[in-house]
Structure 1
Amino acid sequence: MKTSIKVIFTLFIISTSSLFAFQDMQDVTIEIIPVNDNVYMLKGAGGNIGVLTGDDGVFMIDDQFAQLTEKIKTAIGTISDQPIRFLVNTHHHGDHTGGNANFKKDDALIMAHENVRKRLSLKDTDVKNDGLPIITFNDKMNLHINNNDIVIAHVHNAHTDGDALIYFPQSNVLNTGDTFFNGMFPYIDLESGGSVDGDIKAAETGISLINENTKIIPGHGAIANRSDYKAYLNMLKTIRENVQKAMEEGATEDEIVNNEKLTSEFFTDKEASEFYINGPKIRGTFYNSLKK
């Protein structure tokens, strides 16, 4: 699992440069994982995809990389004969929005937080703005599709400044985007408006929406439950307390980055060495976020 996580995030980093055009995606397989009722999770290369099927058309959450669009469409075609009509981006990162332009050409209605559109509009890779969301929201949006009263809620300055939680109440499934990394340290993108306190608040918000029977599609990692989500929240809060205390005691950034004890309750540096965000990286992220 650790190796696959590292590969996923290597692809994410590569996707921000022109080198990604030369990467071979032919070996990537799109795996369909049933979640609850007519909700599925798709795994490939990049962030997890959520899919809600029904007579209203396919409702999709995120779309990985452009090179995988045809494989994703083929996979979805095995669980629904309806077109992909609705697409929500949980945030702007390329491993979640890379296929936007392709799905937009197929007449998918793309939705996202306003900051997602702003950040995507700045990308040199989409000079024609082909993949920009055409419907944006600020705090919350409700949709009524495929027998679900879908709740889309913005969580402020969490993984980025444009994150959204998507909850299917009738199917009892929550999609968290990258505000929840299941089974690993999180990636909090400080340069894109993310923050430790915002990521904690996002997890608290998500937990408040669900119950013990809810299935959770995280941004990365396996399907989770409420207990997994609460464990993740506990990790965030504990590391925050540990790093904050060390800072108050006068520890420098280098001392915090190199102090494995601040995070080893959850993953040792050896265990996290194959994560995209390893021990030193997560401690540095918490330091720099709390310093602000």
Structure 2
Amino acid sequence: MKTLYIWLCGLLTALSVQAAEEVNIETSAVAGKVHMLVGRGGNIGVLSGDDGIILVDDQFAPLTEKIREAVKGIHSGPIRFVLNTHWHGDHTGGNENFGKAGAVIVAHNNVRQRMSTDQFRAFFNRETKASPPGALPVVTFGNDISFHVNGETMNVQHYPHAHTDGDAIVFFRNANVVHMGDIYFANQFPYIDVDSGGSIDGLIAAVDSVLKQSNEQTKVIPGHGALSDAKELTEYRDMLVDVRKRINAAKQAGKSVEQFLAEKPLADLTSRWEKGFIKTDQMIQLVWLSKAMTM
């Protein structure tokens, strides 16, 4: 857990250590009028066209100008909306900048609630201060919301208690693209923010829902990692189910998390999935702490 805490602190202060000028924003065409931007923090989705631009997430504030330049390389229209997939700073850090420039910030109700108050995550023993008023979503929704722009139908669905309690997954129906935010860490163990209402059950339920709405041609934008597809998402889902099964069996056997960790029970999964900042032992701890959901 110490390694994870150090990583998180490094991420939250990354742009004060490494100048924003050193970060490159990479642009990839996904399908239709959808692009993906990769820089520092969560992957950004871009829907572009003559009706204007919609961003899905906006990384850190010092990167706003670079993100704007990358978007101009796709389309010269104004950025009209920014949709946050959840409340974490590497997905919402640019809100205030884009809001001041005229974009409407949109998110689930719980995102605004968490951003507007101090948040304490016991897993890291860390407090995150409330965001300034200008960074808060001004349009919020409950179960879902849709955008009809640029010839695209963009359906946004809330998935409760997955990565957090405010996650939104974005379906670009015509392009057959889905942006999953941090519900999906492509080819990596995910971070489940149990202190913000996240759970392994909700994570699996969300992935199952996306797979039911996908096919072999669906392009999947993860919160972190490379552009993906339904095949890799299925492998990710199977890993999550396997990990949950092993941990539930250990709990039913009366083992403590310390006993379980000592057994190295996920050693066979490490080489395949320990490719991000969440290490095998941290994955076990996060799933162990997940509260069961009533589905």
Letter in 1 for 2:251: M
Letter in 1 for 2:51: D
Matching residue of 1:154 = 158
1:29 aligns with 2:40: no
From 236, 241, 248, the counterpart of 1:244: 248
TM-score (norm 2): 0.89
Matching residue of 1:286 = 287
1:264 aligns with 2:267: yes
Matches within 5 A, 1:156-175: 156-175=160-179
Q: Matched residues in 2 for 1:149 and 1:127: separation?
A: 31
1:133 aligns with 2:129: no
From 200, 225, 230, the counterpart of 1:226: 230
Letter in 2 for 1:96: H
Between the two proteins, what is the percent identity of the paired residues? 39
1:78 aligns with 2:79: no
2:170 partner SS = strand
Note the residue ranges of structure 1 that are not aligned, 5 or more in a row. 1-5
Q: What is the CA-CA distance between 1:206 and the residue it aligns to?
A: 1.2
Q: What is the CA-CA distance between 1:65 and the residue it aligns to?
A: 0.2
1:44 aligns with 2:39: yes
Matches within 5 A, 1:102-117: 102-117=97-112
Letter in 2 for 1:266: L
Q: What is the CA-CA distance between 1:186 and the residue it aligns to?
A: 0.4
Q: What is the CA-CA distance between 1:20 and the residue it aligns to?
A: 5.9
Q: Matched residues in 1 for 2:80 and 2:291: separation?
A: 41
2:45 partner SS = strand
Q: Matched residues in 2 for 1:72 and 1:129: separation?
A: 22
Matching residue of 1:275 = 276
Contact 2:55 2:83 in 1 (8 A): yes
Q: Matched residues in 1 for 2:131 and 2:256: separation?
A: 42
Letter in 1 for 2:269: F
From 201, 211, 215, the counterpart of 1:211: 215
Note the residue ranges of structure 2 that are not aligned, 5 or more in a row. 119-127
Q: Matched residues in 1 for 2:95 and 2:153: separation?
A: 24
Q: What is the CA-CA distance between 1:246 and the residue it aligns to?
A: 1.3
Contact 2:116 2:132 in 1 (8 A): no
Q: What is the CA-CA distance between 1:143 and the residue it aligns to?
A: 1.4
2:55 partner SS = strand
Contact 1:14 1:20 in 2 (8 A): no
Q: Matched residues in 2 for 1:152 and 1:286: separation?
A: 26
Label 1:125 to 1:147 Cα distance change in 2 as closer, same or farther (>3 A).
Answer: same
Q: What is the CA-CA distance between 1:15 and the residue it aligns to?
A: 5.7
Q: Matched residues in 2 for 1:40 and 1:276: separation?
A: 25
TM-score (norm 1): 0.90
2:180 partner SS = strand
**1:176-199 deviation digits (Å, cap 9, x = unpaired):** 000000011000000011011011
TM-align CA RMSD: 2.2
Q: How many residue pairs get matched?
A: 281
Contact 1:30 1:43 in 2 (8 A): yes
Contact 1:260 1:268 in 2 (8 A): no
Letter in 2 for 1:35: V
Q: Matched residues in 2 for 1:281 and 1:237: separation?
A: 17
Q: Matched residues in 1 for 2:251 and 2:132: separation?
A: 46
1:219 partner SS = coil
